[in-house]
Chains A and B, each alone.
Chain A
């Protein structure tokens, strides 16, 4: 039977929306293969996380609790996850294509001599999967032919799992991390402090492009709109390449993939690699002074205007609406 094991990533002792999307992806994959969906949580002191995970409608939860797993490190985590998958006889190992997911899963795949599909958006009934290629210019139908399969799912491809139903059984699993893990050491994490919602979880995303001309303009022109709308801020790769904003704001094929209720693209022309990261948004708004800009071809509402005039006006209009 094709059982699926979902690796449930957590940060600050919480499951993100991306993790919950992975659980849904795992359940869909298991349903298509006629197997069960299990979930695993790794870390140090994860009892409460395992308890929470058990409420999301999976068949069983594995709690892998060990001091060596306190910080995410690819070698120790991959060794432990590959071992767990082998011991439990699962066919598919799955997680969401987050920074951790992308780092971890290929290493697990190689340890298990398994084929892997990245950024899967849909599962077919015949073992096929769909995934984007060429920066979203093509949708590939792929099939993994090895006995064990490894899959990362796109963070916007499924609805996040919700709590309900019978609570799953929790099994505590010990871990023997091999010596290889001694060669990687977590040396620090500097968190990007922000009062704004997380880019990949926000209901509204306001993104800026190269037309903003400077990092200063991101602050003085775009940020007021971001904040009055209660949005997360994003950026095009062009704006990141120009050094206006850090890469963790990049929306696109090589950055973050988002699908908010409302996506506002300000001064973004709409290169295919950017569209690949936001075209699943429910409503897309584009503000650009070039009426030929490709972004207008995917937007629900387009405004041809100079952003330096339109954005401050929009701040005022939204303020009026909210008061």
Chain B
């Protein structure tokens, strides 16, 4: 079995993001970049499926500049087998990314694509579903672990996604108002949510090994895929500031103002 996992290079979620004064983007000076935290959960899940399934190959894919190799190496150090970096310096929208991933998934003849439910930079939550449509494959978004993250199953490093005989998968999905169980045929796209697993850290031997693993660069132009964006970001603005109110001295005062002044209780 072959599992393809997406690895997007994104700003550190703990960094303070500021919009440039001219609105052309965000301030990137001294900004640290990491693997999209949701994709990291995808890598972890792929490695668990490999450990428990026997014989799966975990292939990472990233799209961007040469700098994205750094994030691919992180994934390789966690234990993935090899990586593909599609070199593309231009702006891409979700559909463009889905088209590139479609080509890679077909060329590599993968059985499962795992990806974060969204990237924490553009917050689109689109690419997985678009890729599924392009490939005509089933999709299961927001995969979660039935037993939760404080369970024995998690302590034992078990995957939350159940792959049947290699032909089907059972996915627990967090949806509005409850938990849905979905059976899907393979090949399929599965996007992952926070509570699927806790990703491992790369070990020192893992980091050493990762240096020798294959990281293939493919120029986007060589794929013959139309990546003209259909969605353009015209400008960014800082979010409107909410006026800070005032401090109250006691619980009694708080309840009183909520009743008499704000009239909400």
Contacts and interface: CB of A to CB of B under 8 A. Distances in A.
* Chain A complexes with chain B: yes
Nearest to A18: B176
B130 A106 contact: yes
B252 to A, nearest CB: 6
A190 B237 CA distance: 41
A192 B149 CA distance: 18
Given A133-B121, A303-B251, A247 B174 contact: yes
B180 interface: yes
A141 B235 contact: yes
A318 B245 contact: no
Interface stretch (A28-36, A40-48, A61-69, A113-121): A113-121
Contacts of A146: 230
A144 B236 CA distance: 16
Interface string A267-282: 0000011000001001
Given A106-B125, A132-B123, A183-B138, A191 B177 contact: yes
Given A138-B236, A313-B251, A314-B255, 18 more contacts: A105-B129, A106-B130, A109-B126, A116-B130, A118-B126, A132-B123, A134-B123, A140-B235, A183-B185, A190-B180, A240-B195, A247-B195, A262-B262, A273-B13, A301-B246, A301-B254, A305-B251, A321-B259
Main secondary structure of the interface of B (DSSP, over half): mixed
A300 interface: yes
Interface of A: 11, 73-75, 78, 98-100, 102-111, 113-119, 128, 132-146, 180, 182-192, 198, 200, 204, 229, 237, 240-241, 243, 246-248, 250, 253-254, 261-262, 272-273, 279, 282-285, 291, 296-305, 310, 313-314, 317-318, 321
A190 B136 contact: no
B105 to A, nearest CB: 14
Contacts of A100: 175-176
A272 to B, nearest CB: 8
Given A187-B183, A189-B180, A298-B244, A204 B194 contact: no
B176 A300 contact: no
Ranked 3 nearest A-B pairs via Cβ: A115-B230, A183-B185, A110-B133
Contact of A139 (B238, B259, B262): B238
Contacts of B132: 74-75, 107, 110
Contacts of B123: 118-119, 132-135, 253
Interface stretch (B58-66, B78-86, B106-114, B139-147): B139-147
Given A109-B126, A240-B194, A204 B265 contact: yes
Nearest to B194: A247
Contacts of B55: none
Contact of B239 (A138, A243, A283, A300): A138
Contacts of B148: 243, 246
Contacts of A272: 17
Contact of B262 (A74, A229, A283, A298): A283
Interface stretch (B92-100, B206-214, B215-223): B92-100
A188 B150 contact: no
A141 B258 CA distance: 36
A110 B262 contact: no
